[in-house]
Amino acid sequence: MLDRIAGYLAAEPVRVTAFLRLPLIALIGLLVYTWEVDHWLPEVYEVVLGAYAIAAVGWLIVVLRGPVPRWADWTSTAFDVLVVVVLCLVSGGATAALLPVFFLLPIAVAFQDRPALTAILGTGTALCYLVVWIVYSKRDDTVGMPDIVYTHVGFLLWAAAATTALCVVLVRRRARVNKLQNVRRQLVSEAMQADERHNREVAEHLHDGPLQTLLAARLDLDEVRERNDDPALEAVHTALQQTAAALRSTVTELHPQVLAQLGLTPAVRELLRQFEARGDHTVHADLEDVGKPESQQLLYRAARELLMNISKHARATTVRVGLSRRGDRVVLTIADDGRGFDPAIVASYVADGHIGLGSLLARFDAMGGAMEIESVIGQGTQVTATSPPESG
């Protein structure tokens, strides 16, 4: 999921350019049709422009359907340059009709966060436009060099300066956003570490203090029960056993030893064992050994929270859990056949049992991970949690 999101965002400049390309092609065709300019190679001109339009529509469909390779930005720009050169070669006196497409080149690069390349390509576009007009005017004395050409060149130079400035602003803004995201990620990481240290300290205090005192009291009570067969003592003994079990459960939730000692996979497997023991659910687990990833505490918390939500709200009979490593990330998937819900309420309303889920979404987002919720009312829910990338 996170790879798809990253690919989508990385391809955003390509998508913007793909949208801008179509009206410019239409404008070129309209200008040429309206002016009825005599071309050197009219059939070739029409074929090139038609093929360019078809390719532009096809490219727009491709970039909208899914992730785009990283080389797509410069490839599409290089293709634009090639088409402009070909159209200039076969257009004869229709150079002015090509003016709109010259504006596409600097704009296409401006959204790629490359100020130097934007300035070079924008300035070069204006100069090339002027050179093409000079060449055509020399070849055909009836055409001459219209004064409007210099105005066009001025507009192209202004567009080059404007798009370069826009690119600089976008680069600086992205740098600030990335810096803020890194600070946010660091703060969330430190908060989680502080939370973990606090939980461990509380767990150790409960284990070494109240729980040991309670167990000692139960042993003393066992000695008294051997000498005195009083039903009241049985009730006290049962209460002590239940309290000790509840304390052990609290200590485990605060600081699961199996997670710290054995890793994420055994910890999730133990969660599933407890989940099955508490309710009437059929669990299908496909758990790979992922070791001890850096984000195991976050993933373990997600697994515990999601299983708890299923137990409380889903009314499910079957639960499927998957755990696997994909490159430098760990992916946890939990699906159920319960009653489902509208995922929009998690982002809109933090209420009635969705506080934990909303908190998980915020934590994964802040840490550079992702959590995808797919749910349809009456058809169950599937949650896919992807960890942040491993630093090593």
| pLDDT single digits (tens) 135-154 | 777 766 666 677 788 888 89
Question: Helix, strand, or coil here: 106?
Answer: helix
Tell me, yes or no, whether 153 lies in a domain.
yes
Q: Write out the residue range of the structural domain in which residue 283 sits.
A: 261-386
More confident residue, 251 or 163: 163
Tell me, yes or no, whether 96 lies in a domain.
yes
Tell me, yes or no, whether 170 lies in a domain.
yes
Tell me, yes or no, whether 216 lies in a domain.
no
Tell me, yes or no, whether 356 lies in a domain.
yes
Which of 136, 160, 183 is the endpoint of a domain?
Answer: 183
In this prediction, residue 288 carries a pLDDT of: 94
DSSP state of 111: T
Q: Give this prediction's pTM.
A: 0.58
Which of 183, 209, 243 is the endpoint of a domain?
Answer: 183
Residue 10 has pLDDT above 90, yes or no: no
Which of 126, 156, 183 is the endpoint of a domain?
Answer: 183
Q: Are residues 170 and 266 in the same domain?
A: no
More confident residue, 361 or 269: 269
Q: Are residues 10 and 136 in the same domain?
A: yes
Q: Are residues 276 and 176 in the same domain?
A: no
Q: Are residues 169 and 67 in the same domain?
A: yes
Tell me, yes or no, whether 364 lies in a domain.
yes
Torsion of CA 351, 356, 360, 362, to 10 degrees: 40
Give residue-wise pLDDT tens across range 100-146.
Answer: 767 766 776 777 778 888 888 888 888 888 887 787 777 666 666 77
Q: Are residues 161 and 277 in the same domain?
A: no
Tell me, yes or no, whether 213 lies in a domain.
no
Domain count, the chain: 2
* Interstrand relation of 318-326 and 329-336 (parallel, antiparallel or unpaired): antiparallel
Q: Are residues 28 and 177 in the same domain?
A: yes
In this prediction, residue 213 carries a pLDDT of: 85
Q: Are residues 179 and 272 in the same domain?
A: no
Q: For the ranges 12-26, 65-79, 341-355, which has the lowest average pLDDT?
A: 341-355
Tell me, yes or no, whether 57 lies in a domain.
yes
Q: Are residues 147 and 268 in the same domain?
A: no
Q: Are residues 123 and 270 in the same domain?
A: no
Cα separation values, 319 from 70, 175, 274, 344, 373, Å: 38, 43, 14, 22, 15
Q: How many CB atoms lie within 10 A of CB 181?
A: 13
